[in-house]
Structure 1
């Protein structure tokens, strides 16, 4: 598989459209015809760039993970304290959700994991591993700062926080109310912070 940085401008537009479709409709909810129509090319051209739907979805996740990792580095560079980092992390989910009630690409694909090609599942797992490691380190920082409840376990909190934010997107879409993931994340932090 190519690296996303090697994509031609047309292939990048294909990935952009596929990312949007994945966030709104899921892996099984779109076709190459949908992508071709939105990009303004013929279906064989989509196949030229990405022979299979799995190849396309894996590229979407690879690029999405890279962008998310860059955001995590920015958060680390801008915020010294754990609670500020975790609040900024929740805002990443709000920004995605604010665009047409889109879901996290990997949250959406995680829900369809049983239908995904192995290469896509591997990329989704990589995304979650990176995020859980960063969250664990952030909660551990909170513990070292003396701000976290002493009985709280960073590993368990990392998983719970990620699940809360991913779930907030799904529930927020279902309720169609104005509450986004940040409100849910802050409520969770209030429970485990001193």
Structure 2
């Protein structure tokens, strides 16, 4: 991937995660890069191509990150903490909305390829968190009732919503929500 393409994806990610799908255009990206809109169209003929590629890239990166976390051999709590740390890092970088959350508002109106990549990304996150929660339950690191999959959906749902709320109320809201998620999971430090 060449440098221009990487920069296009970089700024598209920032705009998508701070403004949502309909909150930015190729003009926003071209102004940041000092290039013409046509240059972006050479890489991504339509906005849906750009956002689908961005979501696919996000999925590949997070999948690699999850694999690295698992390979590190950490406990379930350490693994889940790495996800919380990642969430806080993205928020601190100005990405107030997570990639799956950035397309939720307009989901039904989005092009099919964007919907598909968004769902694949969301499913990847849910499966990984479910696996971590199951391991944590089996090893006595967590203590909660109900199904692991439902709890994973709750964790992800809280983080998606809290990231948006935190964009207005500040980082402390996100930190507090992570603390409450831990408490709900029976996580005792």
Q: Return the TM-score normalized by structure 2.
A: 0.91
2:27 to 20, 33, 47: 33
Q: Is the 8 A contact 2:14 2:94 kept in 1?
A: no
Q: After TM superposition, give the deviation of residue 148 of structure 1 in Å.
A: 2.9
- 1:46 matched to which residue of 2? 40
- 1:73 matched to which residue of 2? 67
Deviations 1:114-155 (A, max 9, x none): 231110110000001111100111110011112333633211
Is the deviation greater in 96-105 or in 146-155?
Answer: 146-155
Give the gaps of 5 or more residues in structure 2. Answer: none
1:12 to 6, 9, 16: 6
Q: Is the 8 A contact 1:109 1:124 kept in 2?
A: yes
Deviations 1:80-134 (A, max 9, x none): 3212211221111101001125321221112221231110110000001111100
Give the gaps of 5 or more residues in structure 1. Answer: 1-6
Q: Is the 8 A contact 1:161 1:188 kept in 2?
A: yes
Q: Is the 8 A contact 2:80 2:129 kept in 1?
A: yes
Cα distance change of structure 1 residues 150 and 168 upon mapping to structure 2, 3 Å threshold: closer
Listed as ranges, the matches of 1:1-150 within 5 Å are 7-100=1-94, 102-149=96-143
Cα distance change of structure 1 residues 161 and 150 upon mapping to structure 2, 3 Å threshold: closer
SS of 1:179 mapped into structure 2 = helix
SS of 1:111 mapped into structure 2 = coil
2:181 to 156, 175, 188: 188
Structure 1: 4+ residue segments shifted above 4 A: none
Q: After TM superposition, give the deviation of residue 182 of structure 1 in Å.
A: 4.4
Q: After TM superposition, give the deviation of residue 77 of structure 1 in Å.
A: 2.6
Q: Say whether 1:159 aligns with 2:144.
A: no
Hey, what's the Cα distance between the residues in 2 that align with 1:190 and 1:37? 45
**RMSD, matched Cα:** 1.7
Q: Return the TM-score normalized by structure 1.
A: 0.89
